[in-house]
Amino acid sequence: MLQRETLASFRVFTLNLDPDEITKATGIIPVSFHRRGDHPRNNLKYAAYTHNLWALESDLSRAKDIEAHLDHLLSKVEGWKEYFSSLTEADLDFFVTVFNKNGIQLSPQILLRIAQMGVGLGVTIYPGQDEVIEI
């Protein structure tokens, strides 16, 4: 059986806006964040981040398809479109990682919703692996 997995996030990268300010403005708790100058895993052996990050990650099952993950994330952030649009110095995107050798397909409706947010979409596709499941 072909294994298909999808991971998705909505990310806000900034130089000067603290991630806590985004949380305060929207009331949305990010799944991950860091501040410029922090070190990954709080370990000084890693170079410090050069930007701030505020990110939501889809909490749907990895077995769900890309469209379900994007719909889930959009439903959380669409109500804050004006706020996110006001972050002119920020880089925002939806970022998806797909493990599926057959590629992806997105509906015009989901693409329109992303476009209306004024946000980019990044996709990384890795070939899936054949997996045998015994029942």
Q: Could you report the per-residue pLDDT of 27-39, keeping only the tens digit for each?
A: 999 999 999 999 9
In a domain, 76, yes or no: yes
110 domain-assigned: yes
Query: To the nearest whole number, what is the mean pLDDT of the chain?
Result: 91
The answer to whether position 61 is within a domain reads yes
Flag whether 64 is in a domain.
Answer: yes
Contact between residue 102 and residue 129 where contact means Cβ atoms under 8 Å apart: no
In a domain, 28, yes or no: yes
Cα 23-26-31 angle, rounded to 5 deg: 45
The first and second tokens of residue 68, run together, are 């379900």
Residue 134 has pLDDT above 80, yes or no: no
The verdict on residue 135 lying in a domain is no
Which residues are paired to 55 by β-bridges?
Answer: 11, 32
Using alpha carbons, list the distances in angstroms from residue 73 to 2, 39, 47, 79, 130.
Answer: 26, 27, 30, 11, 29
Cα distance between residue 94 and residue 84, in whole Å? 13
Q: Is 106 among the domain residues?
A: yes
The residue among 11, 7, 107, 110 whose CA lies nearest residue 61 is: 7
Compare 31 and 131 and report the one with higher pLDDT: 31
Query: Tens digits of per-residue pLDDT, 116-130?
Result: 999 999 999 888 665
Percent of the chain with pLDDT over 90: 81
Task: Give the residue numbers spanning the domain of 20.
Answer: 5-126
Could you give the number of structural domains in the chain?
Answer: 1
Residue 133 lies in a domain: no
Q: 135 or 73: which carries more pLDDT confidence? A: 73
